[in-house]
């Protein structure tokens, strides 16, 4: 009798696990990787055209609850003044995390190095390093509406200081 009860219990447990398996599989995050290597000339940032070269990899993981985590993997951006050949570079590192709030806004958390530019003999001219947490419109997560936390060095604007470093 105990064997029948055990077998019956085992069947119920296995059945429950099989019933939940599709749900568990559906909740698995979706991961993608984007490699890039591009160069373009930009106007409007500085009083002169600048060449922007960016290369590296972004990995993105999207969870079933809408949380979106993007990591910069060996991402380097170099700004060059083609007239004089001066360049300023930054390496990006750390995650860019976007979490939906359910009201059309998202909470964005950036840990690490979002940009850090130095010029020989001058030192740091622009930095966005540390932790930055803010609320943004879901349609424009790169634009802060309300800053919740800011630690480290969060300079307000990359341009025109980058232009000054290239002049």
In a domain, 10, yes or no: no
In a domain, 13, yes or no: no
Tokens linked to 141: 């997560």
Average pLDDT across the chain, whole number: 86
In a domain, 59, yes or no: yes
- Domain span holding position 80: 29-166
- Strand order of the β-sheet with 123-137 is 30-42, 50-62, 68-80, 87-100, 105-119, 123-137, 144-154
Local structure of residue 47 (DSSP, 8 states): S
- Residue 40 predicted with pLDDT over 90: yes
In a domain, 19, yes or no: no
In a domain, 142, yes or no: yes
In a domain, 15, yes or no: no
pLDDT digits (tens, 9 = 90+) for 152-165: 998 988 999 999 99
Contact 89, 117 (CB under 8 A): yes
The total number of structural domains in the chain stands at 1
Report pTM.
0.74
3-state secondary structure of 37: strand
pLDDT digits (tens, 9 = 90+) for 107-126: 999 998 889 998 888 899 99
Tokens linked to 103: 């009201």
Contact 150, 160 (CB under 8 A): no
């Amino acid at each position: 009798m105990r064997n029948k009860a055990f077998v019956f219990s085992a069947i119920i447990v296995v059945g429950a696990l099989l019933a939940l398996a599709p749900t568990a599989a559906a909740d698995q995050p979706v991961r993608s990787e984007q490699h890039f290597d591009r160069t373009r000339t930009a106007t409007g940032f500085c009083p002169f055209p600048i060449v922007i070269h960016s290369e590296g990899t972004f990995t993105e993981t999207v969870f079933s609850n809408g949380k979106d985590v993007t990591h910069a993997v060996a991402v380097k951006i170099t700004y060059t003044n083609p007239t004089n050949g001066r360049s300023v570079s930054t390496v990006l590192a750390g995650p860019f995390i976007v979490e939906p709030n359910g009201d059309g806004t998202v909470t964005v958390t950036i840990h690490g190095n979002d940009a850090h530019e130095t010029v020989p003999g001058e030192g740091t001219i622009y930095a966005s390093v540390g932790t930055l947490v803010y609320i943004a419109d879901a349609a424009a997560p790169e634009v802060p509406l309300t800053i919740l936390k800011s630690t480290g060095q969060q300079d307000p604007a990359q341009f025109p200081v980058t232009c000054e470093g290239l002049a």
